[in-house]
Amino acid sequence: MSRAQEIYETLIGHLRTGTYKPGDRIRAEDVAKTFDVSRTPVREALSRLQERGLLEMTATGLAVAKLTRPSVLELYAIRELLEGAAARYAAQHASPSDLYSMRHIAQAFAEPTDDPGRAAQLNRAFHDAIAEAAHNRYLVNMLHGMHDTVMLLPSTTFAVEGRQPAAVAEHAALLDAIERRDPDAAERLAQEHIRHARDTRLAMMFDY
């Protein structure tokens, strides 16, 4: 792994864990000092993050991107399409081990919890399992890229009262369609699930 790639992967990890939050300044000189490298690989890594929309140029310099309402709508629109496609392909191609993994994660997600962060992790694992069951590496790569952008969103929709129980029912219906090998129903239910998440997210972030 090149130094630029190493820095890139580390910064992605910091974004995923919330070490860097939307609006935080990212200074090339600070990153170079942390990694004890010149600014050349740092600039390469930061440029890649900026190209992916994870960093943006502000009046005070490069910072972790803040998603506006139109950006959130665009993000969920493409998420709806990709998650729907993953569910459709999973209904067509899931192996017995894929189905076992999805059932296992869905059962863990259904257990009551007061930890929204854990619910979010299990939800991500459930959707990742569906993507893997689709057996389409290009779709998986696109979904991973989209999830990296989702991590810029503040908090989690599971912090909203009632969202997890609703999602449990949505997951159950979606999993049932996949197990029945019904791609049309699986795609429709996955897209409805994402729309419900979108509406919750918009209510959390915006007053209009």
Token pair for 72 = 């959130």
Average pLDDT over residues 194-206: 93
Q: Which of 20, 45, 64 is the last residue of a domain?
A: 64
Mean of pLDDT over the chain: 93
Domain CATH code at residue 8: 1.10.10.10
Examine the domain organization and report whether 127 and 195 are in the same domain. yes
Longest dimension (CA), the chain: 55
pLDDT for 81: 97
Say whether pLDDT at 74 is over 70.
yes
Q: Are residues 85 and 153 in the same domain?
A: yes
Residue 1 reports pLDDT greater than 70: no
Beta strand ranges found along the chain (DSSP E): 55-58, 61-64
pLDDT in tens, 116-154: 989 999 999 999 999 999 999 999 999 988 888 887 887
Residues 126 and 142 reside in one and the same domain: yes
**pLDDT exceeds cutoff 60 at 96:** yes
Read off the pLDDT band of 79 (50, 70, 90): very high
Q: What is the pTM of this model?
A: 0.82
What is the band of 208 on the pLDDT scale with cuts at 50, 70, 90?
low
Instruction: Judge if 147 and 52 occupy the same domain.
Output: no
Domain closes at, from 64, 83, 99: 64
* Tokens 């010149």 found at: 38
At 2-29, the pLDDT tens digits run 899 999 999 988 887 778 888 999 999 9
Number of domains in the chain: 2
> Nearest 5°: phi and psi at 62?
-70, 135
Segment 167-178, tens digit of pLDDT = 999 999 999 999
Residue range of the domain that includes 156: 69-205
Tokens of residue 148, six digits: 């990296």
pLDDT at 145: 85
User: pLDDT of 47-71, one tens digit each?
Assistant: 999 988 899 999 999 999 988 899 9
- Identity of residue 120: A
Average pLDDT for 91-116:
96
User: Do residues 85 and 25 share a domain?
Assistant: no
Write the CB contacts of 113 (distance below 8 Å, at least 6 apart in sequence).
119, 164
First to last CA, the chain: 45
How far apart are the C-alpha atoms of 177 and 133, rounded to whole Å? 14
Distance between CA 84 and CA 93 in Å, rounded? 14
